[in-house]
């Protein structure tokens, strides 16, 4: 049973008015003594909230085993997903909880430094983090050193190897990583990279212990998670729910259309699922049955008057533009898929051929990129062709679809790639 005092865990406080150090200490008063932080993380079953859901304790052990006295913890709060706002809300509510977790991870792996990375275009969040770091620094003569870095916002900038590349060379380029897990390095020294929400969960486990943490969620995915809900909603929002909560409840809590046409789960490299699957639980084990996952904690709701083909085309063209263009799948394959979707969504005379080419291109691209960016786009397209098969068939026959009259867009997609200005459509 979920008790009222147990939720929210991560979002205690008022968004936009972050808790100061003293308020944070009072709100998250320690209730248990943890003897071994790493063992406690293992017992709690904390997994990454950035998309991969990798066990946090396992990653920490890997980095701890590396030699060196200049290790670092990198807090990834870049939030490259256009539909995601959870890290920004978390850092605007409880920044010290994120820093707590990062400091604990630094202690576990033997690191001296914590680097918090926030996209430079979000001045408000940058200010909140900067203030929290100064508060902690003033209260300590020695200990973990905190540092704020502000890379430019891009989709690929949030990929952990691209973020490390930027810290090394000021270029947001993903690195080829044939084997995972592996250990990334900044200036030749091992680093542990974790999402901001993951760090916050580490902070909770250290204060309240593994049994408390596992009281919510599922056996395989314990705890709560933040969900950015956009699309057919009263207004875009971020909510905190226990993992395993029915999707129907998630939609209700977010003020979303209770009977949507479809839902995009996991972000813009995620999967569409039919609207009638609202009784599925929001956790990876349940969603895997239909080829979806929680991913980056993004849920985009498509209304009944929307067209999944049109929405997917808009996302794919933007994702192609956001790629690092380091290899053939990104440089040539993704733009070609975007063009095929444009032909299909416009119901041109070549729409049927474009549909066939999409299937062929997906098979040629999957698994062949230097990073997983093209794989995510292929996953998105394949799920769209499946979930919106009726729309695809109508477009191929050059017939109007559900969105032909309203021309309404449900997904927010930036149409300019600039550091200092983002224009949305």
Q: At 386, is the secondary structure helix, strand, or coil?
A: helix
Residue with tokens 């576990």: 108
Neighbours of 66 (CB within 10 A): 15
Residue with tokens 């304790």: 57
Beta strands in 32-160 (DSSP E): 72-77, 113-118, 145-149
Q: At 346, is the secondary structure helix, strand, or coil?
A: coil
Q: In this structure, what token pair is assigned to residue 361?
A: 């291109």
Entry field: residues in the chain: 425
Domains of the chain: 4-213 (3.40.50.11540), 224-302 (3.10.20.600), 308-396 (1.20.1440.230)
Whether residue 415 has pLDDT greater than 80 = no
- Would you say 396 and 344 are in contact if contact means Cβ atoms under 8 Å apart? yes
Q: How far apart are CA 85 and CA 363, in angstroms?
A: 32
Q: How far apart are CA 104 and CA 229, in angstroms?
A: 30
Contacts of 247 (CB under 8 A, 6+ apart): 263, 277, 278, 279, 280, 281, 282, 299
Q: How far apart are CA 206 and CA 43, in angstroms?
A: 12
Could you report the per-residue pLDDT of 227-278, keeping only the tens digit for each? 999 999 999 999 999 999 999 999 999 999 999 999 999 999 999 999 999 9
Picking from 129-133, 239-243, 297-301, 371-375, which range would have the lowest pLDDT averaged per residue? 371-375
The pLDDT > 90 percentage for the chain reads 69
Query: To which H or E segment does residue 205 belong?
Result: helix 196-208
> Is omega for the bond preceding 181 within 30 degrees of 0, making it cis?
yes
Q: Which of 423, 417, 371 is nearest to 155 (CA)?
A: 417
Q: Which residues face 194 on adjacent strands?
A: 75
Whether residue 165 has pLDDT greater than 50 = yes
User: How would DSSP label each residue in 211-224?
Assistant: HHHTTSB-SSSBSE
Q: How far apart are CA 182 and CA 205, in angstroms?
A: 25
Whether residue 424 has pLDDT greater than 70 = no
Q: What is the pLDDT of residue 142?
A: 60
Q: What is the pLDDT of residue 262?
A: 97
Whether residue 4 has pLDDT greater than 50 = no
Q: Report the half-sphere exposure of 86 (CA within 13 A, side-chain side).
A: 31
Q: What is the pLDDT of residue 178?
A: 59
- Would you say 151 and 157 are in contact if contact means Cβ atoms under 8 Å apart? yes
Q: In this structure, what token pair is assigned to residue 263?
A: 């839902």
Q: At 186, is the secondary structure helix, strand, or coil?
A: strand
Q: In this structure, what token pair is assigned to residue 305?
A: 């008057």
């Amino acid at each position: 049973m979920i008790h009222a005092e147990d939720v929210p865990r991560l979002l205690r406080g008022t968004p936009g008015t972050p808790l100061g150090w003293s308020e944070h200490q009072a709100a998250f008063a320690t209730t248990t003594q943890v003897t071994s932080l790493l063992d406690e993380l293992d017992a709690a079953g904390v997994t990454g909230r950035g998309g991969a859901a990798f066990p946090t304790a396992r990653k920490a052990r890997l980095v701890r085993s590396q030699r060196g006295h200049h290790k670092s913890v990198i807090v990834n709060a870049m939030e490259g997903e256009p539909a995601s706002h959870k890290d920004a809300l978390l850092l605007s509510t409880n920044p010290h909880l994120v820093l707590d977790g990062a400091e604990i991870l630094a202690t576990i792996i033997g690191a001296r430094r914590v680097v918090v990375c926030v996209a430079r275009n979000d001045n408000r969040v940058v200010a909140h983090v900067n203030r929290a770091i100064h508060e902690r620094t003033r209260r300590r003569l020695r200990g973990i050193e905190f540092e704020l870095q502000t890379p430019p916002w891009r989709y690929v900038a949030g990929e952990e190897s691209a973020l490390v590349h930027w810290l090394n060379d000021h270029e947001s380029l993903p690195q080829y990583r044939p084997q995972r897990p592996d250990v990334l390095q900044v200036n030749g020294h091992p680093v542990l990279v974790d999402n901001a929400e993951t760090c916050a969960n580490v902070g909770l486990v250290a204060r309240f212990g593994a049994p408390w943490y596992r009281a919510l969620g599922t056996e395989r995915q314990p705890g709560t998670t933040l969900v950015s809900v956009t699309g057919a909603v009263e207004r875009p929002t971020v909510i905190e729910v226990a993992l395993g909560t029915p999707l129907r409840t998630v939609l209700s809590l977010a003020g979303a259309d209770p009977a949507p046409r479809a839902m995009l789960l996991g972000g813009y490299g995620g999967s569409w699922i039919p609207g009638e699957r609202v009784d599925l639980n929001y956790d990876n084990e349940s969603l895997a049955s239909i080829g979806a996952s929680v991913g980056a904690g993004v849920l985009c709701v498509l209304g009944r008057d929307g067209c999944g083909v049109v929405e997917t085309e808009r996302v794919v063209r933007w994702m192609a533009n956001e790629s690092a263009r380091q290899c053939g799948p990104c440089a040539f394959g993704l733009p070609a898929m975007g063009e095929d979707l444009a032909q299909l969504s416009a119901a041109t005379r070549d729409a049927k051929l474009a549909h066939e080419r999409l299937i062929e291109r997906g098979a040629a691209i999957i698994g062949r990129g230097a990073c997983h960016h093209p794989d995510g786009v292929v996953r998105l397209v394949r799920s769209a062709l499946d979930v919106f098969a009726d729309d695809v068939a109508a477009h191929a026959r050059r017939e109007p679809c559900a969105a032909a009259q309203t021309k309404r867009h449900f997904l927010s997609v930036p149409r300019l790639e600039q550091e200092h200005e983002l224009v949305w459509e």
